[in-house]
Structure 1
Amino acid sequence: MAELPLILLHAFPVDARMWDPVRAPLAARLRLITPDQRGLGRTPLPETERAPSLDDAARDVVALLDKLGLERAVLGGCSMGGYLAMAVLRLAPERVGGLVLIDTKASADAPEAAENRARVAERAEAEGVAGWLAESMLPNVLAERTRTERPETVQALRELMDAQPPSGVAWAARAMAARPDSLDVLAAARVPALVVVGEDDTLTPPEAARAMADAVPGAELVTLPGAGHLTPLEAPEGLARAILTWWDRHLAQE
């Protein structure tokens, strides 16, 4: 049987370029697919009257699998990408051959978090996103060490955020706010799973990662020291090594 591909789903509010620091080592070993999610990067936001929902983004992922002729894939996601991976698992578990959950969580938004996402969506639609969105998010998504010692990473992330279409940012914020708790979906999963978290991640902290790892039978948990919420940018070598080591143990013979 051919080895499964790895689909990596990006975080909010960026696009698939966030995977560039881990692209070379992963693509050297695996078939790597990194789509832009609807409304972000180069993927347009479909016209619809339905309320924003990650269920629709999950259907996009299943449609991508169909287009590529793939029965199953390993789904990996960082932050919002992890929420989307869990939405795909809920929608079409038979298409998921493994999970890589990076700096994300299974719980739904608390009311105050959902309200904050609504404010972000409204401001994005009213003002665009350049400047203020990155300014408000950078202190939360990057570890202090990254912000003080790696200005090139900070600048690259700022440019990624500034480049996103405001309509896509607004849609994604509202879709995340509406997502359900997914611990039940993880508990029902019967696939190899890896959970990775930055040691200094304050948005989806190590205890949230532990809850996911505990939910999935046989899941492995890796904590990356010195990294915050965006380990693909902050600790790319450690993340790539964690994925490939786990892959060799659980999926190399698939």
Structure 2
Amino acid sequence: MVMVRTPDGIELYAEEHGTGAAVLFVHEFAGDHRGWAPQVSALSRRYRCITYNARGYPPSDVPEDPADYSQRHAVADAIAVLDALEVERAHVVGLSMGGFCALHLGLDHPERVRSMVVAACGWGSLPDRRGEFRAECEHLAQSLRGEGMAAVAERYALGPTRVQLANKDPLRWREFAGHLAEHSATGSANTQLSVQRERPPLYELADRLAVVDIPALIIAGDEDEGCLEPDLMLKRTMPRAGLLVLPKTGHTVNLEEPDTFNRAVLDFLAAVELDRWDRRDPRARGLSSTGLGR
């Protein structure tokens, strides 16, 4: 393990396992570096796997001021981890909140990103539900501050897109729920208010994403309602994106279906390394099934 110091003085906890091309894992709001264990176990046989805890997630520092959290801070923190570990360019794997970070890394620092896996990403992006999403972030932050982490975690871990994990793999779900209950209420509340609530929805990034020339694999669960449509938009918008939808699967795709997730990521990384993850053929666009028109 290593403690990484960011430019604004925050200490971040990081780990690395394996050797080879670097793969940086960026966790979701309800997770931390431990949530990538199935992926690190599988990928570290071939790759240098780097995990870390975002600011607000012990043993990383937990700033008290919400102003010390933002999407901009999240991207800068990921770059700080790469710099500290002397990684010039990495494959980036992000889940949910981490998926947003991966996309912003590709937008703002394309020279540091070899490829990106963007999983379960898009909550808060649907235009007709934007206000509801922001209100939910505020309510969750208030609950965390008023009730504490353990009480909120008990309900959060059985939300509409988490019950799938509980039903499929109760042991792994209990581990996930236990890790969530250990998080900092202050860090989680600040993350909700300043990262989740304030980040730009994916649709506002569409014009910029359309010119991102980085291989991308988008992964979604078909019961992750808030992400399905945004992820389809990503596929249609990003010139080198592929889309994998896992059936009967919720938000925590990497824990629900680790074997399928790992195989997809390994195949994707191999294709990228061989320069075989091509841009979409322009002839594949359009709604006609024959290309002959009328």
TM-score (norm 2): 0.78
**Structure 1 residues 245 and 52: alpha-carbon distance in aligned structure 2, compared to 1, 3 A threshold:** same
Residue 179 of structure 2: aligned partner: 160
**Structure 1 residues 152 and 49: alpha-carbon distance in aligned structure 2, compared to 1, 3 A threshold:** closer
Q: Trace 1:55-204 onto structure 2 (pairs within 5 A).
A: 55-105=72-122, 108=125, 110-144=130-164, 146-174=165-193, 175-181=195-201, 182-204=205-227
Deviation of 1:51 after TM superposition, in Å, equals 6.0
**Structure 1 residues 178 and 29: alpha-carbon distance in aligned structure 2, compared to 1, 3 A threshold:** same
2:29/2:96 contact within 8 Å kept: yes
DSSP 3-state at the match of 1:141? coil
2:145/2:185 contact within 8 Å kept: yes
Deviation of 1:85 after TM superposition, in Å, equals 1.5
1:78-127 CA distance string (max 9 Å, x none): 11111121232333222222110011128647011011101111221222
Q: What RMSD, in angstroms, separates the aligned Cα atoms of the two structures?
A: 2.3
1:79/1:102 contact within 8 Å kept: yes
Residue 36 of structure 2: aligned partner: 19
CA distance in structure 2 between the aligned counterparts of 1:246 and 1:149, rounded to whole angstroms? 26
CA distance in structure 1 between the aligned counterparts of 2:188 and 2:72, rounded to whole angstroms? 17
Counterpart of 1:36, as a letter, is N
**Structure 1 residues 148 and 63: alpha-carbon distance in aligned structure 2, compared to 1, 3 A threshold:** closer
Counterpart of 2:167, as a letter, is T
**Structure 1 residues 194 and 235: alpha-carbon distance in aligned structure 2, compared to 1, 3 A threshold:** same
1:171-211 CA distance string (max 9 Å, x none): 21111110013333322211111111112222312x32211
Identity of aligned residues (%): 27
CA distance in structure 2 between the aligned counterparts of 1:42 and 1:73, rounded to whole angstroms? 24
**Structure 1 residues 15 and 203: alpha-carbon distance in aligned structure 2, compared to 1, 3 A threshold:** same
Specify every segment of 5 or more residues in structure 2 that has no aligned partner in the other structure, as ranges: 1-18, 277-294
Specify every segment of 5 or more residues in structure 1 that has no aligned partner in the other structure, as ranges: none
